[in-house]
Amino acid sequence: MDIQGRIFNSFNLSNLRGDIFGGLTASVVSLPMALAFGVASGAGPVAGLYGAILVGLFAALFGGTSTLISEPTGPMTVVMTAVLTTMMAANPENGLAMAFTVVMIAGLFQILLGVLKLGKYITLMPYSVISGFMSGIGIILIILQIAPFLGQQAPAGGVTGTLSDLPSLWANINPLETLLGAASLALLFLMPKAWARIIPPQLIVLVVGTLVCFFLFKDADIRKIGEIPLGLPSITVPTFTQDQMITMILDGMVLGTLGCIDSLLTAVIADSLTRQEHKSDKELIGQGVGNIVSGLFGGLPGAGATMGTVVNIQAGARSAWSGVTRAVVLIVVVLGAANLTQHIPLAVLAAIAIKVGFNILDWSFVKRAHRVSRQAAFIMYGVMLLTVFFDLIVAVGLGVFIANVLTIERLSELQTKNVKAIRDAGDDALLTTDEKAILDSTNEQVVLIYLSGPMIFGVSKAIAREQNTINQYKAIVLDLYDVPLIDTTISLAIENTIKDAVDSQREVFVIKPHDQAKTSLERLGVYQIIPADHVCSTRVEALEKAAATLES
């Protein structure tokens, strides 16, 4: 692989026209979303713009998905909002710089995951956990926009603070701003799909809402974005405090992990649309570089964005030139046209963010989870509630733990059926004619314990159960030939079975498994418990040797 393939994303000039058009179209989608997420996070609209530019540019340059569009997303914004609130409360003077330092830490963590080649493991999560987590993020985003939607300053305390202040928010509602937000939200929901394919609904709402506010309610008391500083951003010096160090690192890991999940899931969608294959580890490195630079210049954290990516591909993009084009267009907006955005009403941006929250909610699975499985529904709703009212990382960690425990239990129940004690030819149809004849000749003095399929620790009880019956026989044949995978717990259970039989003066014959299972038993020294000629390659050989011991 050449240096471009090792360091840079996939760039080629064969589809330059499509890539440029894709980038232009994606920038049109990105602009209103960046402004909305910047305001929603509390860092300001300019932070959203810088995040869209910097994460998008550097992820496009160094990532591993040629058509991925990276920018601030709903889930990343929700986490960043919590980080910013926590840092500002702990250190009002340096809280903003500390929050952007967390973004840099998230980027470093993503690069570390990419360098360690852990990308393929990031998305190995049960769907019920992902669905509950993303739906919880959607609910948080909606709740946090209630105050600006009603024309008021967001109360302290995040979700719980907003919900507890609902009576006060409703009592002090700004009718004009709420009407403007409601009209914008209605337009977003009711816009015909045919129109949406031509121009993004968010941009239409942004333009129409701003023009209505400017011409019809110019002198009304409506809160607006205000002036956005023109020019290049200033550098944010990484800032730490001893008291907040651990919190910042943990927040950075949460933010980085969420960005990895968001990006790689979107990369899979891009693969399905372009028939290409992304490079997971390289993508994580690109996302990490983008987030480090974004945090360094006061931008929001970002990740692969599904909406922007799909629009980019549908517009004809096939290489990373589209992501670069989109970033350049947004740079032009910031440098030369930022003053045009100062009249955008905050209620309109709140409506855009609320619509994003509704889109994040996994309505399809939420409606059907109880039909699929009560366990899946329990996990999904549990993760959703924990995400909204407690903690994001605890929600995901606990959800994954419970889902894995339930999965292991079901697998163990299934695998238990693959542990069989065959005492005579009539016990099982898997024996050949010769094998049945040999077993019949032993007059039930030989038992064949047959294991098949991957063996995980949950099956150890079934092996122990069969172990309790071996004293009834003079010889035991342990058939492991059809076991491709074995874990340490099962290896020890097999070792204990063999040891107990040997201690009881029983003859034990083992039919060797293949590949990983064979290596595991050899490393544990299981074969050394019995004579070397008792380790056999076939079932016939083991049964013949077991039958021969009865005659001696």
**What does the pLDDT look like over 495-535, one tens digit per residue?**
888 888 888 888 888 888 877 777 778 788 887 888 888 88
Whole-angstrom CA distances from 421 to 103, 316, 451, 529 are 58, 62, 9, 21
Give which of 291, 292, 296 is closest to 263, Cα–Cα.
Answer: 291
Give which of 420, 506, 443, 422 is closest to 471, Cα–Cα.
Answer: 506
For residue 99, pLDDT over 90 is answered with yes
- Cα 291 from Cα 54, distance rounded (Å): 8
Q: According to the model, what pLDDT value does residue 364 have?
A: 81
For residue 259, pLDDT over 70 is answered with yes
340 vs 149, residue with greater confidence? 149
**What does the pLDDT look like over 351-369, one tens digit per residue?**
988 988 888 888 888 888 7
What is the mean pLDDT of the segment spanning 165-170? Answer: 89
Q: What is the pTM of this model?
A: 0.76
Phi-psi category of residue 175: left, alpha or beta, with phi > 0 → left and psi -120 to 50 → alpha? alpha
Residue 345 neighbours by CB under 8 Å, 6+ apart: 177, 180, 181, 209, 210, 213, 222, 223, 224
- Cα 99 from Cα 84, distance rounded (Å): 5
Q: According to the model, what pLDDT value does residue 185 have?
A: 92
Class of residue 543 by CB neighbours under 10 A (exposed 0-12, middle 13-18, buried 19+): buried
For residue 38, pLDDT over 60 is answered with yes
Q: Which of 29-33, 282-286, 317-321, 467-471 has the lowest mean pLDDT?
A: 467-471
Q: Are 149 and 351 in contact, with CB atoms under 8 Å apart? A: yes
Count each helix (H run) and each strand (E run) in the chain, helices first.
Answer: 26, 7
CA–centroid distance for 153 within its chain: 32
Question: What is the band of 338 on the pLDDT scale with cuts at 50, 70, 90?
Answer: low
For residue 541, pLDDT over 70 is answered with yes
Give which of 26, 106, 122 is closest to 71, Cα–Cα.
Answer: 26
What is the mean pLDDT of the segment spanning 291-312? Answer: 91
For residue 467, pLDDT over 70 is answered with no
Share of the chain above pLDDT 70, in %: 95
Q: According to the model, what pLDDT value does residue 1 have?
A: 44
The mean of the pLDDT values for the chain is: 84
Residue 552 neighbours by CB under 8 Å, 6+ apart: none
CA–centroid distance for 538 within its chain: 45
- CATH value of 418-551 in 3.40.190.150, 3.30.750.24, 3.30.930.10, 3.60.20.30: 3.30.750.24
What is the mean pLDDT of the segment spanning 483-502? Answer: 83
300 vs 3, residue with greater confidence? 300
Tokens matching residue 93: 């003077």
For residue 156, pLDDT over 80 is answered with no
Question: What is the band of 4 on the pLDDT scale with cuts at 50, 70, 90?
Answer: low
Q: According to the model, what pLDDT value does residue 14 have?
A: 79
**What does the pLDDT look like over 379-403, one tens digit per residue?**
888 988 988 888 777 787 788 888 8
For residue 483, pLDDT over 90 is answered with no
For residue 3, pLDDT over 60 is answered with no
Give which of 155, 189, 184, 193 is closest to 171, Cα–Cα.
Answer: 155
**What does the pLDDT look like over 198-239, one tens digit per residue?**
777 888 888 888 888 888 877 777 888 777 776 677 888 888
User: How does 167-204 read in b/e, with b if 16+ C-beta sit within 10 Å?
Assistant: eebeeeebebbbebbebbbebbeebeeeeeeeebbbbb
Share of the chain above pLDDT 90, in %: 19
The ranges assigned to domains in the chain are 17-364, 418-551
Question: What is the band of 103 on the pLDDT scale with cuts at 50, 70, 90?
Answer: very high
- Cα 361 from Cα 139, distance rounded (Å): 7
| Beta-strand runs (E) in 251-379 | 303-304
What is the mean pLDDT of the segment spanning 57-64? Answer: 92
